[in-house]
Amino acid sequence: MLTNAFKYAFRETENGKLTVETREVDDRLLLYIQDNGPGLPEDFDPMQSEQFGMELVRSLATKLKAELKLKNEGGLGFSLLISNYKKV
């Protein structure tokens, strides 16, 4: 997710911003990544996309038994809400 953000989000701006956040939410771990780039085209369905990056993200979510959500406003935001994780 970070690689794609650096590769695609900031092509047309010099003021790119990337936010990475982790925190606990109701005994689950939230990983949230957002950029302030152009986002995805409106007709793009990330859950049906066969592009390698999206397949990789969906596969990761499945392996982690995580809930995957996307926000396509003011950039692109991905969140993974992971239920079974261990604190270290």
* 88 lies in some domain: no
Full domain range(s) for residue 29: 2-82
Q: How many domains does the chain have?
A: 1
**Does residue 43 surpass a pLDDT of 80?**
yes
**Does residue 8 surpass a pLDDT of 90?**
no
Look up tokens 């989000």; give the residue.
9
Query: Tell me, what CATH number does 74's domain have?
Result: 3.30.565.10
* 55 lies in some domain: yes
**Does residue 47 surpass a pLDDT of 90?**
no
Going from the C-alpha of 68 to that of each of 11, 13, 16, 30, 71, the distances in angstroms are 26, 27, 24, 10, 10
Structural tokens at position 60: 């990761």
* 45 lies in some domain: yes
* 87 lies in some domain: no
Q: Which pLDDT value is given to residue 14?
A: 81
Q: Which pLDDT value is given to residue 12?
A: 77
